[in-house]
Amino acid sequence: MIGEVLKPFEGVTHDVFNFEPEVPPEVPELEEGEEPPVPEEKDILEAFKHVYVKEVVREKRMHFTRVPRLGSYMAIPLIYKSCLFDEALEEAVRDYEEVQKKRENQEIEKEAWQAKQDAEKAAAEEAGNEWEAASQEWEEINFAPFLTQDRKLVLCLDTMGQDREFTDEEKRFALNTVKSYIEIWEQEEVTALTADRARRAEMLSGETAGGDAQAEEEHATEIAAEIEEYKWKSDETDKIYFMRHITEEDYVPEEELASIEQKYKMLTVMASRFEKNKEWLEYVENLRAHRVMKYPEIFQSLLFLTAFKREDICEPKTNKLCWKTVRE
């Protein structure tokens, strides 16, 4: 089955994503002193919606990639709330900054309120009056929950070739395993995004603090000079891709070609400097700890220009960067 694609109209597996969400039962109004009823615990075979085919050879909708064999088939939806994506990280960082600012303002208010209380107490004691401390409740400022989106996977099991059904014990074990995996996966992603949020917030605070403006300006001037002085290499791909002798059918407007050449030169120069800069290499090494990668296209371009092949860093049969593979 590795490398096979099962289209939505093929087989029964996609049915696991079409189940209607279960509506929770209405809670009746309780009289004073009355305890709410204990919800009835359902068997996971009923509570966890899944697809089960008792005899695959008798199910007309079954899709076989090889010769059909006697047995049963089970498909379990593994749908979890994922928070490891760009928008979730951006929103988490924004919320983090707002919460930190609110907490700082609250601390200032607390100090001012405490100072006022101390002054009132001292004045009362000096006048010989009894003083009673005032009570003040402070709002608890917490971080908002992370943004999430459904990540839909499916676990498929079968006994084909064994000519038997799954036992109820086996089905419960599979369903409980998927349920536990969903809970663990969601918690792991929350932990990972919390760490990414802290790293991004620290990075942004460093940028806000500012750096050596003169050094940055000199660095930018050096890069611009290298790009201007860049020479095409006749023995490599530069000449092949950017030589001006092109056919009329493949003609590219002069201004567009110039823009492509300029961008290629810039990336090549940056990649060359990147390989020689220890500070940048350490920065990239630190990036491996991040689970959410911002602007992957830039990082992907640098990898291509430092001799990595598409098959080594992209998802199979695509040009999309596989950050998990790169991190490892």
Report pLDDT digits (tens) over 210-228.
555 666 677 677 777 776 7
pLDDT digits (tens, 9 = 90+) for 148-187: 999 999 999 999 999 999 999 999 999 999 999 999 999 9
Question: Would you list the domain boundaries of the chain?
Answer: 13-18+42-86+147-206, 212-327
With CA atoms as reference, report the closest residue to 63 among 102, 15, 98.
Answer: 15
pLDDT above 90 for 313: no
pLDDT for 223 equals: 72
With CA atoms as reference, report the closest residue to 93 among 147, 148, 53, 134.
Answer: 147
- Mean pLDDT over all residues of the chain? 80
What tokens does 46 get?
Answer: 């009923």
Q: What mean pLDDT is predicted for residues 53-72?
A: 92
pLDDT for 246 equals: 52
Quote the CA–CA distance of 203 and 89 in Å, as a whole number. 13
Q: What mean pLDDT is predicted for residues 9-34?
A: 79
On the CB side of 293, how many CA atoms lie within 13 Å of its CA?
19
Among left, alpha and beta (phi > 0; psi -120 to 50; other), residue 65 is alpha
Q: What mean pLDDT is predicted for residues 283-308?
A: 70
Quote the CA–CA distance of 265 and 294 in Å, as a whole number. 23
pLDDT for 311 equals: 82
Q: What H or E segment, with its residue span, contains residue 259?
A: helix 254-276
Q: Which percentage of the chain shows pLDDT scores above 90?
A: 35
Please name the residues in contact with 59: beta carbons below 8 A apart, sequence gap of 6 or more.
12, 53, 73
Quote the CA–CA distance of 248 and 96 in Å, as a whole number. 55
pLDDT for 284 equals: 65
Quote the CA–CA distance of 223 and 202 in Å, as a whole number. 27
Please name the residues in contact with 207: beta carbons below 8 A apart, sequence gap of 6 or more.
none
Quote the CA–CA distance of 179 and 187 in Å, as a whole number. 13
pLDDT digits (tens, 9 = 90+) for 224-276: 777 676 665 544 454 445 454 555 455 556 677 677 777 777 777 777 776 67
pLDDT digits (tens, 9 = 90+) for 72-127: 999 999 999 999 988 999 999 999 999 999 999 999 999 999 998 888 888 888 88
Instruction: Give 207's pLDDT tier (boundaries 50, 70, 90).
Output: low
Q: What H or E segment, with its residue span, contains residue 303?
A: helix 296-305
Residues in the chain: 328
